[in-house]
Structure formats: C-alpha cells, structure tokens
Copies of this chain bind each other. A is one copy, B any other.
C-alpha cells in the first residue's frame, strides 16, 4: 500500500492527542476488504485487541462508528465500514495524494541532495 521511496508519511492531527495516520487508514481499508476486524488486524501483524482498540479510538474521534460490527452469529460476527468510515478512509488517502503530489519537486530535490553521497 506504500509508494516507493522517497515518500511522505503523513499523520493528520485533529488535536494534540487525536490523529489519523496510515496505520488507521490501512486498518479501515483491510476491514472493508476482509469483513473482519480480527482478520484485518492479522494482515497488519496486529493483535485482535490492538485492532479493536484502534477501531474504538476512531469511533470515539469521530463521535460515531466508522466500523459496524456484529459479535457472534453464524459466522462469528463480522464487520464492515459505515458510510462515515468509508469517507474518512477515502479522504485520508486524498490528503496523502494531494500532499505528496504538491511536495514532489521539493521531495525529489531533497532526495537528490542525500543521494549524492
């Protein structure tokens, strides 16, 4: 899910303690893909507990669920992104793209200064 180097890693701080970064965006996208919080976490090498905590952090940040989950049931539950969750992930990716494209000439210039060694 990452561009080749040199590349920006970007975190959006909504306030001092609440931010959205590539890890949370990856998790949302993997939940959409796998239909499961635990499967998404596993794909990121993350414990079930950590994946759940990140989802709860996100839900709390936005004051509404980004992920809807059903515990139990025939398939042992399942999860999907809400409309809000889909929009948050998409907007974060657009922020990454807009930022990287705008900064690309300076990024390449700075990288060239490092590569001269």
Q: Chain A interface (Cβ within 8 Å of chain B)?
A: 5-16, 18-20, 61-64, 84, 87-88, 91-92, 94-95, 98-103, 106-107, 109-111, 113-114, 116-117
Contact = CB atoms under 8 A, between A and B. Distances in A.
B95 A106 contact: yes
A98 to B, nearest CB: 4
Closest 7 CB pairs of A and B: A63-B117, A102-B102, A99-B99, A95-B103, A9-B11, A98-B102, A98-B103
A16 B109 CA distance: 18
B5 A16 contact: yes
A13 B19 contact: no
Given A5-B16, A9-B19, A14-B114, 10 more contacts: A8-B12, A12-B107, A18-B114, A20-B110, A64-B117, A88-B113, A91-B106, A95-B103, A95-B107, A99-B103
